[in-house]
Amino acid sequence: MKKITIAIDGFSSTGKSTLAKQLAKELEYVYVDTGAMYRAVAYFAMQHEFIGADFFDKAALIESLPKIQLEFRYNADLGFAEMYLNGENVEKPIRTIEVSSFVSKVAEVSEVRTKLVEQQQEMGTNKAIVMDGRDIGTVVFPNAELKIFMTASAETRAQRRFYELQQKGDNVSYEDVLKNVVERDYIDTHREDSPLIIADDAIEIDNSYLSREEQFAAVLELINDVV
């Protein structure tokens, strides 16, 4: 069977990573969560006090970029790769609401995007990859054989993220999660460099009322048409 590149883009908390992981497992492809990379850079910026509630020292972050080493290491017990920042597993801290509140500002910085996009393109040189993010079908892999764009209402997405955070014991309110989702949507769709837009040749899936199984089956059918 022909190996292809699958790009999955869309708004936050649309279940992109769940679908991407399922596909990668089924097809024995590599899965790359590019949001984790932007989150790791945001976490680094927070740790170094380059960003906070009312400040963002972009110049300091840009200067420090060569010191940021990002790596995915496969965890066989989990069945997917985890994000490492300068040798440290940061899967847990990068998923907090605090990092979520800064990540889109960090992702607006062109120098950050250039560095991460280069690394993402390298990971895809051999195809057989499922990558999810915001600019995969438009910037990272404009020639991807299959492009999916996922949407759902902000409320549906906030409810999902709220439930996820609660499961992890994170003490946040639904209102705060919804506010974060709406804010990130705004920044992601309005930024100058690589805004979140649907690629001309992407297939849109609104999963507000679709189960995971239904989405998975629909996308597998699309893949069969391509390979």
Q: Which is nearer to ligand C5P, 129 or 217 (CB)?
A: 129
Site mask for ligand C5P (CB under 6 A), range 71-110, x = bound: --------------------------------xx--x---
Instruction: Give yes or no for residue 38 binding ligand C5P (CB under 6 A).
Output: yes
Element (H or E) spanning 179, and its range?
A: helix 174-190
| Residue 102 burial (CB count, 10 A) | 20
Shorter beta-carbon distance to ligand C5P: residue 29 or 141: 141
Dihedral angle at the C-alpha atoms of 89, 118, 143, 18, nearest 10 degrees? 10
Strands 146-151 and 5-10 come out as parallel
Write down the least CB distance from residue 225 to ligand C5P, Å.
25
Residue 157 lies near ligand C5P (rule: CB under 6 A)? no
DSSP 202: P
Which of 123, 87, 99, 114 is closest to 36 using CA atoms? 99
Asked whether residue 12 is marked as a ligand-binding residue, the answer is yes
- Measured from the CB atom, the residue of 64 and 96 that comes closer to ligand C5P is 96
The binder of ligand C5P chosen from 21, 39, 115, 157 (CB under 6 A):
39
Is residue 10 annotated as involved in ligand binding? Answer: yes
Ligand-binding site membership of 208 (annotated)? no
CA dist., res. 224 & res. 27, Å (int): 11
Interface with ligand C5P by CB under 6 A: which range of 47-55, 78-86, 131-139, 151-159? 131-139
Q: How far is the CB of 72 from ligand C5P (least distance, A)?
A: 14
110 carries a ligand binding annotation? no
Q: H or E stretch including 88?
A: strand 88-89
* Candidate residues 45, 129, 135, 223; the one interacting with ligand C5P per rule CB under 6 A: 135
- Dig out the tokens for 12 from the structure: 């936050």
Separation of alpha carbons 222 and 105, rounded Å = 34
Centre a 10 Å sphere on the Cβ of residue 80 and count the other Cβ atoms it contains. Answer: 18
Q: Of 19-27, 32-40, 143-151, 198-206, which part binds ligand C5P (CB under 6 A)?
A: 32-40
CA distances from 131 to 72, 148, 184, 190 (A): 13, 10, 20, 22
Q: Does 130 bind ligand C5P (CB under 6 A)?
A: no
Binding region for ligand C5P (CB under 6 A): 12, 34-35, 38-39, 103-104, 107, 133-135, 184, 188
Residues in the annotated binding site for ATP: 10-18
